[in-house]
Amino acid sequence: MKILSIESSCDETAAAVVEDGRTVLSDIVASQVEEHKLYGGVVPEIASRRHCESISQVVKEALQEADCEIDDIDAIAVTATPGLIGALLVGVNFAKGLAYSAGKPLIPVHHLRSHIAANYICHKDLQPPFMALVVSGGHTSFVKVNSYTDFEIIGSTRDDAAGEALDKAARAMGLPYPGGLYMDREAVDGNPKAFSFPNPKVDDAPFDCSFSGLKTSVVNLLHNAQQKNENICIKDLSASYLHAVVHTLTQRAQLAIDTYHFDKIVLAGGVSANSVLRKQMTTLCEKNGISLYYPEISLCGDNAAMVGAQGYYEYIDGHLSDLHLNAKATSSIDNIDAILPCL
């Protein structure tokens, strides 16, 4: 089964053709990152406008590269939630129009489910159940993946997402957007023990995390140094901060292994590209004798191939939509009904 998939939840306009959820026939991404870099972060209105300008061409290229006509496609999958509402609406409305005109089934896909599904493309043998650590610019969650379409949240961030905490701290350090990526590069030859940061815990919710205190402490540290005219080594600060963020995640991952006895852990989302996170999770999983999976770098960030992968399993479970489908800025990974208008 061939699915044409579309993604426009943030600042990448993307389309792909994916066969049977695992084989990518084409994967086109038009990134807007250079433009948003000028503003130090994503400007939602600009993102929506660029999606409008690029989407027809991106979809056309995805079909061409897969050597397909629209008639060869069996269904159309689209990211419907969560994300920037104006950005999501471009993809959702394009997909609805195409599904209607071509007479194809329409599959709404949850963005975070698709980040997890990027792993099905890279690891052909990977099957649920497992625990997913979803770490992106907007979300940080420990998720019990019971089946391809059954998810339970074990813990989440109470404030900033891990990616957001990296991006905001990186911006304060004078690094470009996307900050997580540049901090990762700076940290390579920095000293992770040069600075110490708080390790906040949430009372009675051992799997939940909080990153806003960490972010504030790095901003205060930089302001103090500025006032005293002191120089801060950004490489050391990046390494220390990154290790503090990753420590919060690995601590909870260990607790999840001890509590739920998972034998597989899957990393997903833009921050899963991070070298410190990958290294420390590899050590943790080896120590516990369990398997670790993460996507190849090109599939960690936003792309449409992962939407086609998850879309396949949603289709199999009958999670289709009619043309009343609407985009939704926020929704939980465990509740597909929130985005499914009844068929």
**What minimum distance in Å lies between the beta carbon of 323 and ligand KG4?**
26
Residue 163 contacts which entry, ligand KG4, Zn ion, none (Cβ below 5-8 A, type-dependent): ligand KG4
Pairing of strands 140-147, 150-156: antiparallel
**Interface mask toward Zn ion for 129-158; x: CB under 5 A:** -------x----------------------
Binding residues for ligand KG4 (CB under 6 A): 10, 115, 136-138, 163, 166-167, 178-181, 184, 269-271, 273-274, 301-302
Tokens of 136: 């992106």
Distance CA 290, CA 263 (A): 5
Residue 110 contacts which entry, Zn ion, ligand KG4, none (Cβ below 5-8 A, type-dependent): none
Tokens of 15: 């389309």
Residue 190 contacts which entry, Zn ion, ligand KG4, none (Cβ below 5-8 A, type-dependent): none
Report the interhelical angle of 212-227 vs 162-172 (nearest 10°).
Answer: 10
**Interface mask toward Zn ion for 286-315; x: CB under 5 A:** ----------------x-------------
164 binds Zn ion (CB under 5 A): no
**What minimum distance in Å lies between the beta carbon of 169 and Zn ion?**
19
Report the interhelical angle of 212-227 vs 234-260 (nearest 10°).
Answer: 160
Amino acid in the structure at residue 97? G
**Cβ atoms within 10 A of the Cβ of 311, count?**
33
Instruction: Note whether 338 and 81 are within 8 A (CB).
Output: yes
Amino acid in the structure at residue 172? A
Residue 179 contacts which entry, Zn ion, ligand KG4, none (Cβ below 5-8 A, type-dependent): ligand KG4
**What minimum distance in Å lies between the beta carbon of 300 and Zn ion?**
9
Residue 89's DSSP bridge partners are none
Residue 245 contacts which entry, ligand KG4, Zn ion, none (Cβ below 5-8 A, type-dependent): none
